[in-house]
Amino acid sequence: MSAEVARIGLLGLGTVGSAFRDLVSQRAEAVAASSGRRPEIAGVLRTTEGDFDHILETSEIVVELIGGTDPARDYVLRALKAGRHVVTANKQLIAQFGDELFDAARDAGVELRFEAAVAGVVPVIRVIQESLAATEVSKVFGIVNGTTNFILSEMASTGVSFADALRRAQELGYAEADPTDDVDGADAAAKMAILARLAFGAPVALADVTYEGITEIQPDDIAYAKELGLSLKLLGVAERRDGGLSVRVFPCFLYPGHPLAPVEGPFNAVMVEAPAITEITMSGPGAGGVETASAVLGDVVSILSGRTPVHAAREPLEIVRDQSSSFYLHLEVADRPGVLARIADVLGRNEVSVRSVVQRGLGDDARLVMVMHEGPETRFFAALEQIATLDFLRAQPRAIRVIEEEFV
Ligand SMILES: NC(=O)c1ccc[n+]([C@@H]2O[C@H](COP(=O)([O-])OP(=O)(O)OC[C@H]3O[C@@H](n4cnc5c(N)ncnc54)[C@H](OP(=O)(O)O)[C@@H]3O)[C@@H](O)[C@H]2O)c1
């Protein structure tokens, strides 16, 4: 007996949408074998073809692959309110309008799935929502933007500037023509808002996420840190802290034993920590049409199989912004006696303690590269402000966080 058809309305037929349409036709029988329903594309909407009302009428699952929030938000809301399950790969939509969309899905008794919105094909959403539904997660963190990870890997392996590495990423299709959201950290911030919401059952808005990007990173920062055994990543971190929640994105150096240190190129990797599980790490391709389409189809299969994700209770948690961090500090200084002592004096007065110092170059090329022990960020930034005014400094100091955590 042939499986009953499941009709899918497809909004968007770009990189992911067209890969999804191909995948549905290639994998229809396999999906039918595992879920009992054979997926079929009922209609397609793009700027040049299709009619949303007609697609809504003729489908039971709507897959949104348009991107952005307008008109995607309106279409997704209308689909949910009309009792259609929705699958989307759209992180901005979930990060900005998650509350409204989850409420609409709950009210209509339908599912809203978005595995492909975070970490591409890496099944992090499913693991947090389903496998770890009974686990009290303490921290979720990782590399959630493949474009910036490619750029940083390229800078580290070839010594090129940020601008040249970005150009290379664009040539290879790892960065969009307008890469702003990737390189300034906004894309990673949206993904961390989604992960924090799921892991901690708290409504987290994009505005709750503090973020920095990688545009100011210089090749020599990476080169000096390499000498100290450190590698640079753009990390997203969401963790319970002081009874509240801290969610942030920032470039940082990792020591070699860190599980995320070897993650290179356009890959993503997410770690989850909880007392009951110690830690788990998931990694894989962060983007790509076929990869993303595969995650989208996985969500469709889950819906067809009747696997309803557990939606955590939503208690607001206070957002904590004070942090404690270790820092790398790069100073271009005049090569004269007493310089190191004056810097050490400023750091000491602000109770910032130094872990290691490397002196490089002579004369007009003299530099000090220091790594601090972990301490309150407010103290470090106060010291930095004072150091920036010292008369022997030849350029603005550059500071980058260092993750000190030890892993077994
Ligand atoms: N590309 C990736 O590797 C990747 C990875 C993870 C997540 N995502 C997410 O997946 C989604 C789709 O990305 P994509 O790269 O496939 O985008 P894309 O290539 O730009 O395709 C967008 C599609 O949406 C259609 N569209 C745009 N505005 C529309 C409107 N007002 N009404 C109807 N259709 C409209 C376009 O129509 P036309 O064909 O007529 O132009 C196009 O078919 C985004 O949310 C993105 O963030 C993408």
Q: Please check whether residue 331 is in contact with residue 390, taking contact to mean a CB–CB distance below 8 angstroms.
A: no
Query: What phi and psi values does residue 236 have, to the nearest 5 degrees?
Result: -105, 135
pLDDT at position 404: 80
Q: What angle do CA 313, 205, 200 make, to 5 degrees?
A: 35
Q: Looking up tokens 């067809």, which residue turns up?
A: 304
CA separation for the pair 113, 238 (Å, rounded): 21
Are the folds of 4-117 and 124-285 the same? no
C-alpha torsion 47→48→50→56, nearest 10: 0
pLDDT at position 313: 54
Please give the CATH number for the structural domain made up of 324-403: 3.30.70.260
Q: Please check whether residue 235 is in contact with residue 141, taking contact to mean a CB–CB distance below 8 angstroms.
A: yes
Of 11, 58, 14, whose CA–CA distance to 287 is shortest? 14
Of 183, 184, 212, 211, whose CA–CA distance to 196 is shortest? 211
Q: Please check whether residue 115 is in contact with residue 303, taking contact to mean a CB–CB distance below 8 angstroms.
A: no
For residue 14, report the distance from its CA to the centre of ligand 1, in Å: 5
Helices (H), 241-315: 289-304
What tens-digit pLDDT sequence spans the chain (408 residues)? 578 999 999 999 999 999 999 999 999 999 999 999 999 999 999 999 999 999 999 999 999 999 999 999 999 999 999 999 999 999 999 999 999 999 999 999 999 999 999 998 899 999 998 899 889 999 999 999 999 999 999 999 999 999 999 999 999 989 888 999 999 999 999 999 999 999 998 889 899 999 999 999 999 999 888 888 899 999 999 999 988 999 999 999 999 889 999 999 999 999 999 999 899 999 998 888 999 999 999 999 999 998 777 655 567 889 998 889 999 999 999 988 899 999 999 999 999 999 989 888 878 788 999 999 999 999 999 999 999 999 999 999 999 999 987 554
For residue 406, report the distance from its CA to the centre of ligand 1, in Å: 41
Domain 124-285 fold is Dihydrodipicolinate Reductase; domain 2 (3.30.360)
Please give the CATH number for the structural domain made up of 4-117: 3.40.50.720
Atom of ligand 1 nearest to the CA of 52: 33
In the numeric block, which tokens belong to residue 150? Answer: 């490619």
pLDDT at position 121: 84
Pocket test for ligand 1, best of 292, 294, 296, 299 (most atoms within 8 A of CB): 292
Nearest CA to ligand 1 atom 18: 14
**Domain residue ranges in the chain:** 4-117, 124-285, 324-403
User: Catalytic site residues?
Assistant: 191
